Structure 1
Amino acid sequence: MKLNRKLTYCAVLGLAALFTQCKDSGKEVTPDDENELITSVTLNFKEAGSGTVTSFSYKDADGDGGNAPTKFDTVRLKANTEYTLTVGFLDESKSPVSDITGEIEEEADEHLIVFTPSPASLLTYTYGDKDNNNFPIGLTGTAKAGAAGDGKLKIQLRHQPGNKNGTPAPGSDDVNLDFQLSVK
């Protein structure tokens, strides 16, 4: 009989502890560092010396997934020419349009734009801007086209809240695009 009481007591105590630990606080947990919706990316190449600006764009009104992009330009550059490259990001799903470029500037310590030409000989990129921790951002820089050829230019906007270390590795992509690249 004593054993039965002890088992009952232990079972009641265990259930009480279980229900106390699993109590729902009523709060809904939501992530506080969501990736931005970006529907438009514009690359502006300003040719050194002449000052001529040529822009190339990507547009996808509903963002990643869903409908196909409505615009995806081929980046066409002059061989062995240096450019100042600036990048702009928009969310055109809102009215008025939201300029994500400004958010990237404000949250520079959480963002990195990565430029990866393939083959690598087509383009060399040098960052022209840095965040408060002296890590690159990528909203402006110098792009030098190499010898003539065709390939791709991958543009990634890496979202790296709390993890930015100057490399592309930490974080997630807000943008990951492969522009066709033609150097003539």
Structure 2
Amino acid sequence: MIHVLKKSFLLLIPVGLLLGSCNKDEQTVAPTDDNEAITTATLTLTNKALPGDIVTATVENLNTTADFSKATLTLTANATYSGVVSLLDKTKTPTLDATEEIREKLNEHLFVYTPSTGLNLTVTNTDKDTNPSPGPYSVGLTFEVVTKAASTGTLNVVLRHQPNVKNGTAAPGSSDLDTKFPVVIK
């Protein structure tokens, strides 16, 4: 009887060690806050004076050879547009709406819209996050574009990923997206 108990006890030791080590590993796993995977960026601009005048531009395949065939924004001179950006990750099945992930983490993201030299337009972000004072800070999922005289150039769109460091500037963090949309103002 003692022999059987001894064998049972010896079998329990490795099982206990195994269970204990599994539990310990689970506790040491640190969460990560990785950059968003983005394959497609679309800008949709609506002329505020002519709501039927909607301009859409899309850059595809951002993770490989970018396709700019549908990326040109053709805008009217001296006009004001309301804009939205949408982002997709087509490497996932089904396609992942990265815009929703950014919306869920507004406090960690900032879109920076920069027109090239000579392009007669300005962009202002119109949405804010919920960061405490000195925030809230702008996000840029929605924005306003004001065009001036006819010109051509590019609009650089950068999405900054700024977990725990967002301060209202583009400097901290890393880039989830950095692409340029050709722009023609007529």
Name the TM-score, length of structure 2 as normaliser: 0.77
Structure 2: state its 5+ residue gaps: 1-23
1:115 and 2:113 aligned:
yes
Q: What's the RMSD between the two structures over aligned residues?
A: 1.9
> For 2:154 and 2:55, how far apart are their aligned partners in 1?
17
Aligned partner of 2:65 in structure 1 is 68
Alpha-carbon distance, 1:120 to partner: 6.0
1:17-166 to structure 2, matched below 5 A, reads 32-51=32-51, 52-60=53-61, 63-64=62-63, 67-72=64-69, 73-119=71-117, 122-133=120-131, 134-166=136-168
> For 1:91 and 1:128, how far apart are their aligned partners in 2?
24
Query: Residue 153 of structure 1: SS of its match in structure 2?
Result: strand
- Matched to 2:81, the amino acid is Y
Does the C-alpha gap of structure 1 residues 30 and 71 become closer, same or farther in structure 2, counting only changes over 3 Å? farther
**What percent of counterpart residues are identical?**
39
Whether the 8 Å contact between 2:123 and 2:145 is mirrored in structure 1 is yes
Aligned residues: 156
Alpha-carbon distance, 1:94 to partner: 0.9
Alpha-carbon distance, 1:70 to partner: 3.1
> For 1:121 and 1:132, how far apart are their aligned partners in 2?
32
Whether the 8 Å contact between 2:119 and 2:152 is mirrored in structure 1 is no
Alpha-carbon distance, 1:71 to partner: 3.8
Name the TM-score, length of structure 1 as normaliser: 0.78
Structure 1: state its 5+ residue gaps: 1-24
Q: Structure 1 segments of 4 or more deviating over 3 A?
A: 25-31
> For 1:120 and 1:135, how far apart are their aligned partners in 2?
28
